Amino acid sequence: MEKATISIPEIKFTKLFINGEFVHSISGKTFESIDPRTEEVIANVSEGDKEDVDLAVKVARQAFDHGPWPRLPGCERRRIMLKFADLIDENVEELAALDTLDAANLYSLGKAKQIHDGAELIRYYAGAADKIHGTTLKMSRELQGYTLVEPIGVVGHIIPWNFPTQMFVMKVGPALAAGCTMVVKPAEQTPLSALYYAHLAKQAGVPDGVINVVTGYGSTAGAAISSHMDIDMVSFTGSTETGHRIMQGAATSNLKAVSLELGGKSPFIVFDDADVDRVAPLALRVLVLSFRKEYTISSWRDCLEEVKTWVVGDPFDPNVNQGPQVDKKQYEKVLSYIERGKKEGATLLVGGKPLPGKGYYIEPTIFTDVTDDMTIAKEEIFGPVMSIMKFKSVEEAIKRANGTKYGLAAGIMTNDLNIANTVARSVRAGAVWINCYFAFDNDLPVGGYKMSGFGKDMGIEALHKYLLTKSVATPIFKTLHGFDHLCDYGKLSKMAIVSVFPPANTS
């Protein structure tokens, strides 16, 4: 395991962020944020519970119903959001370090790209803030109408541990642009950067009560958000199992709107004409379920050679390709999947063992001879494990790729345009990458099919889920040239019309 020496930043923010202030939880309880590199405590963070969520929601409701944010001109929200993005860029090193400490994200990647990408996503939605408008409707001769597009209200964001910065900005960015107020619950494994982002938002001029961050556990703080009677929408990214519970909470409370980006088992389908040199680096970026044409590429040797150069170690080290798992629970879960794979008959080609010493490190692992009924082929592992499976035809590849309860994403490697188009249209997945994998852009909506959830993050489509459309209709009083008979003034009086201009004298 590679070691790195770096000056760890001071942890500045560990309390809940409510109404523009850092405050202790009502109970006074805290929980430990653990460094997955060393298994040591980074900080003791305030543990929010239902009472803290109630307080945060009350503040967010007041900010929505009576505060300036939903009523600001879009151009003013844009100005504040652009300042927020600038502050993110100015604090890139500290933010990248927090995500490395908490989530074991690669520091070099965070510093060079991920944090800046987060700032750019805020700018993307800032640019949309003053372009939210309804439409004029062509209706009957007796009516005219238009639509108003309004913010949905108070939003609860529940975000996972895997990419703390990206998950925060992809939820908060469009909700801010729409004019919503919000309560954010970051994952208990990765609370630190969310608190820092809330601090920067206040510095940028986001009014108090608009962004509130309640750190804590999903079973308490998260459950309180999903079932809260005064939250108008909940947006969640995480496991399918938790998605079930969030929908139940939303349904049995106030039938709030729900957006879910859930689990996946995303296939990476490699055809016989694919560029062999590009396959292994793409597949190993995420170590996914990989289908390969049986009679062409020797179905694993290129990946095996690539793994030999893969450096596992301290994510602060710029030479490292893979850091540790986020916590002990995830570490043990991944190792249990590896054991299941071996017991169920898959062939372990490389890896499969924990690394010695401190930290939640696991070797990159590749299985072959994997069949569709094996656990490692069916369930989301969320760790450094690849399963290689073989297929004989395009039709078989499509059928097996669709033979899963998930539908988050899929990748296709081929130089044949007909195959690419056929598979892209046939695979039931929310995103399909052709000759690339894990490719994202601010303008590209992401979100799954089937049990991978519904609703989109990223792109303008994500902005729409934080908006409601209100239809407005008014009668047209045709009083000229003898048309005044079209208006029933008696009926209008019953509709509490206070005064009506008298019809013109057409005699």
Q: Is 261 a catalytic residue?
A: yes
Q: Is-contact 201 229, C-beta < 8 A?
A: no
The Cα–Cα gap between 133 and 135 comes to 7
Point out which residues pair with 348 in neighbouring strands. 367
Can you tell me which residue has the tokens 């975000």? 159
The Cα–Cα gap between 99 and 104 comes to 7
Q: What is the CA radius of gyration of the chain?
A: 26
Q: Is the dihedral of CA 89, 92, 96, 99 positive or negative?
A: negative
Of 194, 190, 150, residue with least CA distance to 172: 194
The Cα–Cα gap between 114 and 132 comes to 28
The Cα–Cα gap between 210 and 59 comes to 8
**The one-letter amino acid at 430:** G
Q: Is the dihedral of CA 139, 145, 146, 148 positive or negative?
A: negative
| 3 state SS of 23 | strand
Helices 192-204, 74-90: inter-axial angle, 10-degree rounding = 130
DSSP 159-177: --SSSHHHHHHHHHHHHHH
The Cα–Cα gap between 488 and 139 comes to 19
Between the alpha carbon of residue 116 and those of residues 11, 120, 152, 268, 463, the distances in Å are 21, 6, 28, 28, 20
Can you tell me which residue has the tokens 């969310």? 194
The active-site residue out of 47, 188, 261, 363 is 261
Between the alpha carbon of residue 273 and those of residues 33, 309, 413, 416, the distances in Å are 47, 25, 8, 7
DSSP 10: P
Angle (CA) 159 80 66, round 5° = 80
Active site positions, annotated: 261
